[in-house]
Structure 1
Amino acid sequence: MGFDRSSSGYSKKFLIEETNRCVSCGLCLPHCPTYRLLESEADSPRGRIALMSGVVNGRIPPNEKFIEHLDRCLTCRACESVCPNNVAYGQLIDEARKMIRESESCRHEAVPANFMQRRRFFSQLLEALVDQPSRLDRLRWLLYLFQKSGLLRLLRWLNSSRWLHKFSFWRQSGMDKMVMQLPPVVFPYAGKQRKTFFSRTWQSFYPAVGEEKGRIGLFLGCVARLTDARTLNASIFVLNRLGYSVCIPEKQTCCGALHQHAGDAQKAAQLMKRNQQAFGELDLNRVGCTASGCCVQLCEFNQCEAGKKPEDDQAALPEVIDISKFLVGAAGWDQLSIRPLAKKVAVQDPCSLRNVLGDQDFPYQLIQYIPDAQVVFLADNDQCCGAAGIYFIQQPALAGRLLDNKINAIIQSGAQLLVTSNVGCSMHIAGRLREIGSDIEVLHPVTLLARQMGMQ
């Protein structure tokens, strides 16, 4: 990874060289979710690469159609796993979005006004909440009261009845999608030594149960710390009982993936530097990540940094690993008591886990620790569910069609439980299952395991 993804301006040289590496063989086409839906060459990896090449070489203008075709890309990176020439499509699409962002900042006449308005809205949202995850922690009690009072139920009913859809902001901002996806509020784990099971915020240190085997940092992320606290709690619970102390630095922040995929690589790099400083100050064996999308961003940052000269005053970010992968490799399972679970469990493979990390086998292996749990096959598991960060908000029609396919596969599998290793996928799928009245529960594999180990 010699390419610097954190540079503020887009690299014309990189775009030209990397797009020239595509031999237009077409092997990527059947693996691309948008090509399978639309059957449009311009909405395939090969087609988008040709469009990028045309724009950067001045053969075609960076107009609204160009932006539309790139916006439709989920960045699932399924094309990378089958490309015979190893074209770095993920870096290409990020670099092209940097180019679009610069066109937007220059108010290029080819960039439509509604596109600019939408981009500004999401930039403001990222700055207000995602860039400052501590604000999400403070929202926890407000959201909890909102749910307990019944107001969230009322809001969902108004949304389902489409009464709220007459307000353009409600639809355009994606509030209609987000309100359906909000899971029940869970508070941070207070630790085994506390009198109460839950706390207002996470502790900086959770000691191992028994003899300490090592110290693991836990990455909270941004949205996940509010919407997937039960997975973070479960990770602490399981790690402690396997003999690992868990460290949670207060100064950690968002991984920067949402910024990276929106073309703001400079902001993404700033956030990663903050995480590097927060975790680098601690003496850790590794940093565990419960969301595969965040894990990709952290791992690729580490790979980029590996080729650079380290700054004297900058601590290194320890090795980052998906939490399921770490737990599967840990010793001591034979000493733990795990209750049987006579249910059918389907495993959904997040694109980031399968196509980039290549760690899709570990959730299956983790479930095998649960006696009597039956893993069932999920059709088209290599296809994206449509969540893809904020794609479900920006491209609701396409995201909805992809989700329809995923929901049908889940129901046909006969599963009673669905486990997935990415918070975005979990919320996206659970929201639709809730909407159609299904009783299939969606949770992280570590959460399911912790529950069978006795976590409330």
Structure 2
Amino acid sequence: MTLSIQQTIQEADRCVACGLCLPQCPTYFKTGSEADSPRGRIQLMSAVAKEILPNNDRFKAHMNACLSCRNCETACPNGVRYGALIDQARVITQQSNWASQGMGWLASNPKFLRLFSQLLRLGQSTGVLSLLSKTHGGFAKRIAMIPQLTTMQCWQTHYPAKRVKRGDVNLFLGCITSAFDAETLLASIHVLNHLGYDVHVPTAQSCCGGIARQQGDANLAKAHIEQNTQAFQHDWPVVTVASGCGAGLKDYTTLPVQDISDFLVRCDWSDIHLNPLHAHVALHEPCTLRNVMKSANAVTTLLSKVPELMLSPLKGKLQCCGGAGTYMINQPEMAEALLADKMMLLQQETFDFLATSNIGCAMQLGSGIRQANMPLTILHPVTIIAKQMGFQSELD
């Protein structure tokens, strides 16, 4: 699953140090440090793998500061697999942050994640979380990341098509999405059903393994991948609504993974009516959607189907928002600096909605929007489509 030491050295040696990756790297842009660039990190990985340099705290700091946005891969003329290299580097460094370890444990224990989500919902409804968010420090900022929660959804294993059947798809829930954004999953089912697809939700599916990989827990990440490979037995497309989850499944499984928007634009819409939406939508492009799933254009094509909708790609799309899985927990200072740049861009125009295809980005951007008291609603692109097809969420 991860690279061996020899494979790490061989892959790192493919880097010719041309520097084309430097302008693409958000952390290099912020720090100006070679050690915080893809080229610098690869050189450090190689030196540690060859035991030229020690695996010390300085090495760990530079590895852990990487967002895994993978912008660098799009600029690399040699096609160096930076994503695989940084995943292996994290196996060496292994994060020990209590918050990220807690997230990893919850992702592996869905029953406790559901309980945790409902405790947070209780805290929201009673006003306790609102009071805590007004305190100072990292804890208050983490509370600000939590979106408005609803009751937990009990998922069926099969949602039949609402019209003449055209095919079958598997829906990957995702641990965080199912706990914090069930509306997007329900909206996806609504659209797929009305396009003629039976939607299957295997009960044995697990976390994509992304949180475990960020912690450097290769064994746990492998266990998640093996469980998902077993859960999705059929050759039906495995549709994901969070690009971060899709990227992990695409990188580490042979499953036929597709982002929901990419799947939908390939469907027959000839007899589907979409109600007009007179609104200005800012389109945020998650790094994993663009660099790994290669589906960013599909989102634009999909939303362009809505009559009267004004769509504006958010400027500065090559810079990560700072969400990046558990990065916003492990590296709060850099995450906040990157978020501040996004908020500045959002405040330059007036938008009704912000559309993004990744739950981590939605939580990160949502925290900035709430702290700035901006009247801006964040929705997944497929939720916008579903609402124009008559979807009404039954969640409270």
- Other-structure match for 1:192: none
In structure 2, distance between residues paired with 1:413 and 1:382: 19
In structure 2, distance between residues paired with 1:121 and 1:429: 19
- Other-structure match for 1:180: 144
SS in 2 for 1:79: helix
Pair 1:302-2:253 in alignment: yes
Pair 1:287-2:238 in alignment: yes
SS in 2 for 1:62: coil
CA 1:49 to 1:284, structure 2 compared with 1: closer, same or farther past 3 Å?
Answer: closer
CA 1:76 to 1:323, structure 2 compared with 1: closer, same or farther past 3 Å?
Answer: same
Matching residue's letter, 1:278: A
- Other-structure match for 1:276: 229
In structure 2, distance between residues paired with 1:214 and 1:377: 32
Pair 1:144-2:80 in alignment: no
Matching residue's letter, 2:185: L
In structure 1, distance between residues paired with 2:81 and 2:43: 14
Deviation at 1:153, TM superposition (A): 2.1
Pair 1:263-2:216 in alignment: yes
Match of 1:207 among 154, 160, 177: 160
- Other-structure match for 1:324: 261
In structure 2, distance between residues paired with 1:133 and 1:218: 17
Deviation >6 Å, runs of 4+? none
Match of 2:79 among 74, 86, 101: 86
What per-residue deviation string (whole Å, max 9, x for no partner) do you get for residues 141-182 of structure 1?
Answer: 43333322222222223x3xx2xx3xxxxx3xxx33331121
**Superposed counterparts of 1:33-72, under 5 Å:** 33-72=26-65
- Other-structure match for 2:379: 443
Deviation at 1:217, TM superposition (A): 1.0
In structure 2, distance between residues paired with 1:345 and 1:256: 32
Aligned length: 392
Partners of 1:378 and 1:409 within 8 A in 2: yes
Partners of 1:31 and 1:79 within 8 A in 2: yes
Deviation at 1:407, TM superposition (A): 1.2
- Other-structure match for 1:241: 194
In structure 1, distance between residues paired with 2:8 and 2:235: 37
What per-residue deviation string (whole Å, max 9, x for no partner) do you get for residues 216-266 of structure 1?
Answer: 111111111111111101001111111111111111110001112222222
Matching residue's letter, 2:36: D
**Superposed counterparts of 1:213-252, under 5 Å:** 213-252=166-205
What per-residue deviation string (whole Å, max 9, x for no partner) do you get for residues 185-235 of structure 1?
Answer: 2346xxxxxxxxxxx411111111022111111111111111111110100
**Superposed counterparts of 1:91-130, under 5 Å:** 91-101=84-94, 116=96, 118=97, 122-127=100-105, 129-130=106-107
**Superposed counterparts of 1:384-403, under 5 Å:** 384-403=320-339
In structure 1, distance between residues paired with 2:324 and 2:184: 19
In structure 2, distance between residues paired with 1:148 and 1:451: 26
Partners of 2:229 and 2:253 within 8 A in 1: no
Deviation at 1:334, TM superposition (A): 2.9
TM-score (norm 1): 0.82
Deviation at 1:284, TM superposition (A): 5.3
In structure 2, distance between residues paired with 1:88 and 1:144: 40
Q: Which entry has the higher C-alpha Rg, 1 or 2? A: 1
Deviation at 1:369, TM superposition (A): 1.2
CA 1:223 to 1:418, structure 2 compared with 1: closer, same or farther past 3 Å?
Answer: same
Match of 2:11 among 8, 18, 29: 18
Partners of 2:276 and 2:308 within 8 A in 1: yes
Deviation at 1:124, TM superposition (A): 4.5
What per-residue deviation string (whole Å, max 9, x for no partner) do you get for residues 406-428 of structure 1?
Answer: 11112224322110100000110
Deviation at 1:63, TM superposition (A): 1.5
- Other-structure match for 1:308: none
337-346 vs 431-440, which moves further: 337-346
In structure 2, distance between residues paired with 1:452 and 1:63: 54
Matching residue's letter, 2:315: A
Match of 2:108 among 120, 128, 131: 131
Partners of 1:177 and 1:393 within 8 A in 2: no
Deviation at 1:140, TM superposition (A): 4.4
Among all aligned residue pairs of Structure 1 and Structure 2, give the percentage whose two residues are the same amino acid.
42
SS in 2 for 1:215: strand
In structure 1, distance between residues paired with 2:163 and 2:312: 36
Q: CA RMSD in A?
A: 1.7
In structure 1, distance between residues paired with 2:54 and 2:118: 49
Gaps of 5+ in 2: none
Gaps of 5+ in 1: 102-114, 166-170, 189-199, 304-316
In structure 1, distance between residues paired with 2:225 and 2:50: 32
Partners of 1:94 and 1:262 within 8 A in 2: no
In structure 1, distance between residues paired with 2:47 and 2:117: 47
177-186 vs 292-301, which moves further: 177-186
In structure 2, distance between residues paired with 1:261 and 1:370: 37
Partners of 1:346 and 1:413 within 8 A in 2: no
Pair 1:335-2:271 in alignment: yes
Deviation at 1:395, TM superposition (A): 0.9
